[in-house]
Structure 1
């Protein structure tokens, strides 16, 4: 892990504290330094204060630099693409607005102006801050970019009729007329600019300076600045409304009620739906946060243009993000808290289905695996019950391609290995977690190995004491922390990275991994060094046996 990334880790760790300080600072500035409001409101972009616009663009750009745009065509070709997009559309454009309208009517029946503003917030789907919440929760960056882009296009096409339908027809509010060009400009500015900047940055720097420099040097430095942009935006946003928050605190508190109910209900319901569909955690988090988040800058602009800057509708749309920020930050921590449990349940169900299918078809199933099947009543991390035999972890840079294929191969070969040879099998990333590469999933599926239930993990998720054998996949053995080598059998297979290469390279690397996994099992069962330890360093293996006294 780079030093720059470590030096900024405190920002992530103490983010709730920093956000609280930013909110209080903004309110105090707005209340006791009135000139700040005039300065911040001096100029606007699409009816949004320039300082807020700068903050929104600042916090979105680093996140969009991380999106692997080159993989998006593969995502659209995946078997889950249609279901993913359909689920997102139904939740975002039907379920969410109805839920917000229902809560607005249930809690604000005597405040029609505030109620209409809240309904507007529910119709405006998020295209900015959701990128931050998704990243903090470990969501799928690529799918988040796709869903945000789809929602942005739909906002241009159907926001006006949707707002009329929910505000007037369903909500029984006053007539509403929305400027289509205002919606279009909002999308072009707050999504178009940072998206274009992220694409240009990725496709210009990566080819010229190399993918390793981009992933390990550039992204760890620029990535944390998105949180600084978030904190800056919060200070500006709260300072612009400091007077109104304090002077009309009763209305603010009333308006907060439907918003809190909405965020909690939508997030929980979407996560539950994804769990029922056995969707991987990363995608479940993405779906849940894109559903719960709202495009407050668009809702504010529409409310001001339609009802006036001093209207109750405008005030309620402004209150929206003030409530959204702390609530969604709390949901990020909730998401991370349930992450391991969510993955455990989903993976065990997937594994149970595989074992039951093999037993029913008469295939060979080890006693240790049947024991594992019986013990699934205990919710534990992946393969924790597979304690007989050597425990193995494959380590790579991002836990996306090679280490994922190795985990899949060794788990499959374990089923036919001598009893007590291979126990727990895991994979992890050295510099963070990414996502299982769609081409790796396809190549392994062609070999009857399903990686769709696997997920990307960081090495800090595990403890070195849990493993007997540590295998570096990418020639980055020197980067593996020393505590992961002491007292271990350690190997560095030094396999070529197939990422951004044709499918044939994935096939080639997969076969190399297959051969080495077979030799790994043979060397363990026969109590000898692996034959691939005789390979030249260029071809692939640094081998260090496990000390006999451990």
Structure 2
């Protein structure tokens, strides 16, 4: 692990401070960057996400995707967490903390809106950022790609019904243009670009050429992650400074939800006998959120200045720092995980996987 990766948590903390400070000092600049969007998808952020995920996608040999079926346990666990546990656990936590425990400290007219924002956040599984988390845990890349693709397909048909059920609405307007464009920008186009580049590199110089390019792009990927943080926190610098108590209270159920779902997915994978390289990304996919869609849906349904929009923004604020702690836990607990009898009993003798 490079020095840059070793101290990534420190760089993230610095980017949060820098982003908030710049957003407060130069709100006009960040408003201009934030307005560069199509269907509420920010294009500068999309470019940075490309730079983050393409190096990870370059490692994936699509011919090996046919072997992903051996990880059916991990896929089953992740689907269970994402669609049968996470939205409902977040709704319960939202009603417990925001609707009851923290009610005296929050604006009374925004309570229901805050809870709605939390539900929107939990009902959309993460997409692009998962490739970063999987890379940091040395996760199985083919499993990660297959799981993300499957979640995207399910999200197209399940997002509205799940949110509608939990919000008690008879119908909900889903920003389909945002959903489709986000999937295309963050998944489809980077996958195509990465595979074209991979084939060209292999044809020109073989595995050695691909390895050289991956070593070169690795710092670019992490630098793009940090630049994305500066932008995201810069966009919300004014709100962070203006409403620190509200943001802190909204963060509580989100934090509990992340650790609960990550831990549950991790333990279920161990009980099921899945490999650690699958359990890690499974836990991370199960815990993280597709905050771009959640923010867009909250704004579309409740308005830009609503409590729902603010609640989804809090998810953006804590997503990266919290997921880095989950990455740390997954990496540090690898020895404990692999001492599990079921995992050892079903672990294949050799695992063919891109480094």
Q: Do the structures match in fold with TM over 0.5? A: yes
1:372 equivalent in structure 2: none
Q: Distance in 1 between matches of 2:193 and 2:280?
A: 25
1:85 equivalent in structure 2: 75
Task: Note if contact 2:114-2:311 (Cα within 8 Å) is conserved in structure 1.
Answer: yes
Task: Note if contact 1:160-1:180 (Cα within 8 Å) is conserved in structure 2.
Answer: no
Aligned positions of 1:342-421 closer than 5 A: 342-346=337-341, 350=345
Q: Distance in 2 between matches of 1:38 and 1:290?
A: 30
Aligned positions of 1:482-501 closer than 5 A: none
Tell me, yes or no, if structure 1 residue 14 matches structure 2 residue 4.
no
Aligned positions of 1:178-327 closer than 5 A: 178-214=174-210, 216-327=211-322
Task: Note if contact 2:127-2:187 (Cα within 8 Å) is conserved in structure 1.
Answer: yes
Give secondary structure in 1 for the equivalent of 2:339: helix
Aligned residues: 345
2:135 equivalent in structure 1: 135
1:26 to 10, 19, 25: 19
Task: Note if contact 1:124-1:298 (Cα within 8 Å) is conserved in structure 2.
Answer: yes
Post-superposition offset of 1:175: 6.2
Q: Distance in 1 between matches of 2:226 and 2:340?
A: 35
TM-superposition CA deviations, 1:516-546 (whole Å, max 9, x none): xxxxxxxxxxxxxxxxxxxxxxxxxxxxxxx
2:38 to 37, 40, 45: 45
Task: Note if contact 2:255-2:322 (Cα within 8 Å) is conserved in structure 1.
Answer: yes
Post-superposition offset of 1:296: 0.5
Task: Note if contact 1:120-1:167 (Cα within 8 Å) is conserved in structure 2.
Answer: no
Q: Distance in 1 between matches of 2:119 and 2:276?
A: 30
Q: Distance in 2 between matches of 1:349 and 1:89?
A: 23
Q: Distance in 2 between matches of 1:196 and 1:284?
A: 26
Q: Which runs of 5+ in 1 are unaligned?
A: 1-5, 355-403, 409-434, 439-455, 459-550
Q: Distance in 1 between matches of 2:49 and 2:143?
A: 20
TM-superposition CA deviations, 1:236-259 (whole Å, max 9, x none): 000000010110111101110110
Task: Note if contact 1:97-1:119 (Cα within 8 Å) is conserved in structure 2.
Answer: yes
TM-superposition CA deviations, 1:446-486 (whole Å, max 9, x none): xxxxxxxxxx9x9xxxxxxxxxxxxxxxxxxxxxxxxxxxx
Tell me, yes or no, if structure 1 residue 112 matches structure 2 residue 108.
no
Q: Distance in 2 between matches of 1:36 and 1:220?
A: 33
TM-superposition CA deviations, 1:393-413 (whole Å, max 9, x none): xxxxxxxxxxx9xxx5xxxxx
1:437 equivalent in structure 2: 352
Q: Distance in 1 between matches of 2:150 and 2:218?
A: 24
Q: Distance in 2 between matches of 1:13 and 1:237?
A: 23
Counting strand residues as a fraction of each chain, which structure ranks higher?
Answer: 1
1:423 equivalent in structure 2: none
Runs of 4+ in 1 over 4 A off after TM superposition: 346-349
Task: Note if contact 2:75-2:282 (Cα within 8 Å) is conserved in structure 1.
Answer: no
Post-superposition offset of 1:348: 8.7
Tell me, yes or no, if structure 1 residue 97 matches structure 2 residue 87.
yes
Task: Note if contact 1:29-1:36 (Cα within 8 Å) is conserved in structure 2.
Answer: no
Counting helix residues as a fraction of each chain, which structure ranks higher?
Answer: 2
Task: Note if contact 1:168-1:176 (Cα within 8 Å) is conserved in structure 2.
Answer: no
Q: Distance in 2 between matches of 1:166 and 1:24?
A: 35
Q: Distance in 2 between matches of 1:193 and 1:271?
A: 30
Post-superposition offset of 1:347: 7.9
Residues 229 and 348 of structure 1: is their aligned pair in 2 closer, same or farther, counting only changes over 3 Å? closer
Task: Note if contact 2:52-2:225 (Cα within 8 Å) is conserved in structure 1.
Answer: yes
Q: Distance in 1 between matches of 2:166 and 2:189?
A: 30
Task: Note if contact 1:275-1:284 (Cα within 8 Å) is conserved in structure 2.
Answer: yes
CA root-mean-square deviation: 2.3
Q: Distance in 2 between matches of 1:344 and 1:90?
A: 24
